[in-house]
Amino acid sequence: MDDKQVKNIKSGVIKLLKKKKQYDKETDDMLIDSLIFNLKLIEDSKADILTRGTMVNIGKEVPYYQVNFSVGVFHNAVKSINQILKQLGIEKARASNELEQDPMQAFNEFMNN
């Protein structure tokens, strides 16, 4: 995720919250930063899963496969994003209708690349 995407997500969320008169700089900036961090975690874990697969061989002499740790990171980041969006008061339908560049759209763009 490049700086432009980060700025688009942050400014879009802030605009939406200000429009709804729900923006509190102290708490919401921290949540937005956490949202962006989790989006980056998803991007990195997705790249690792696509490179190494969902199962990785951790055995030295005899093959021993275990679930790639990135699968858990990906799953937990998605859950965190959903919680953060709820804490910000952004529902999926509301976000897709009111944000110029909503976080989920930006998320879907870099997930498909």
Q: Pinpoint the alpha helices (H) of the chain.
A: 3-19, 25-52, 69-88, 92-98, 103-111
Whole-number pLDDT of residue 22: 87
Q: Residue 20: pLDDT above 80?
A: yes
Where does residue 53 rank: exposed (0-12), middle (13-18), buried (19+ CB within 10 A)? middle
Q: What is the pTM of this model?
A: 0.75
- List the domain boundaries for the chain: 3-111
From the CB of residue 85, how many other CB atoms can be counted at a distance below 10 Å?
20
The pLDDT tens digits for 65-86 are: 999 999 999 999 999 999 999 8
Highest mean pLDDT among 13-17, 21-25, 29-33: 29-33
The per-residue pLDDT of the chain, averaged, comes to 84
Check: CB of residue 57 under 8 Å from CB of residue 64: yes
Q: Residue 91: pLDDT above 90?
A: no
Check: CB of residue 107 under 8 Å from CB of residue 79: no
